[in-house]
Amino acid sequence: MNAVRIHKYGGVDVLKMEEVKPRPPERGEALVRVEAAGVSFGDIYHRRGSYAFELPSTLGHEGAGIVEAVGPDVREVKTGDKVAWTCVWGSYATHLVAPAERLVIIPEGVEVRDAAAVMTHGLTAHALAHSICSIVAGDVCLVHAAAGGTGQLLCQMLKLLGAKVIGTVSNDVKARIAREAGADEVVIYTKNDFAKEVMRLTDGEGARVVFDSVGKDTIEKSMQCLALRGHLVLYGQSSGAPPSVDPAALREKSLSVTRPVLPHYIASREELLFRAGEVFHWLASGAVRLRIDATYPLEEAAAAHTLLECRKSAGKILLLP
Whether domain 2-120+263-320 has CATH 1.20.140.10: the reply is: no
Q: List b or e across 296-305, with b for residues whose CB sees 16 or more CB atoms inside 10 angstroms.
A: bebebbbbbb
Crossing angle of helices 269-285 and 112-131, in 10° steps, is 110
Interacting residues of 157 by C-beta distance below 8 A, sequence separation 6+: 125, 126, 128, 129, 130, 282, 288
For the chain, what is the HEC assignment? CEEEEECCCCCHHHCEEEECCCCCCCCCEEEEEEEEEEECHHHHHHHHCCCCCCCCEECCCEEEEEEEEECCCCCCCCCCCEEEEECCCCCCECEEEEEHHHCEECCCCCCHHHHHHHHHHHHHHHHHHHHCCCCCCCCEEEECCCCCHHHHHHHHHHHHCCCEEEEEECCHHHHHHHHHCCCCEEEECCCCCHHHHHHHHCCCCCEEEEEECCCCCCHHHHHHCEEEEEEEEECCCCCCCCCCCCHHHHHCCCCEEECCCHHHHCCCHHHHHHHHHHHHHHHHHCCCCCCEEEEEEHHHHHHHHHHHHCCCCCCEEEEEC
Q: What is the pLDDT of residues 132-164, one digit of tens each?
A: 999 999 999 999 999 999 999 999 999 999 999
pLDDT band at 312 (very low <50, low <70, confident <90, very high): confident
Q: What is the pLDDT of residues 51-66, one digit of tens each?
A: 888 999 999 999 999 9
pLDDT, average across residues 115-119: 98
pLDDT at 143: 98
pLDDT band at 237 (very low <50, low <70, confident <90, very high): confident
Q: Can you give the pTM of this predicted structure?
A: 0.94
Return the percentage of the chain with pLDDT > 70, whole number. 100
Distance of CA 113 to the CA centre of its chain: 15
What is the distance between the alpha carbons of residues 154 and 125, in angstroms, rounded to a whole number?
5
pLDDT at 22: 86
Write the CATH number of the domain with boundaries 133-259: 3.40.50.720
pLDDT at 202: 98
Crossing angle of helices 149-160 and 172-180, in 10° steps, is 40
Q: What is the pLDDT of residues 16-62, one digit of tens each?
A: 999 999 899 999 999 999 999 999 989 999 999 988 889 999 999 99
Interacting residues of 39 by C-beta distance below 8 A, sequence separation 6+: 60, 301, 304, 305, 308, 316, 317, 318, 319
Domain 2-120+263-320 matches domain 133-259 at the CATH topology level: no
Domain ranges of the chain: 2-120+263-320, 133-259
Radius of gyration of the chain (CA): 20
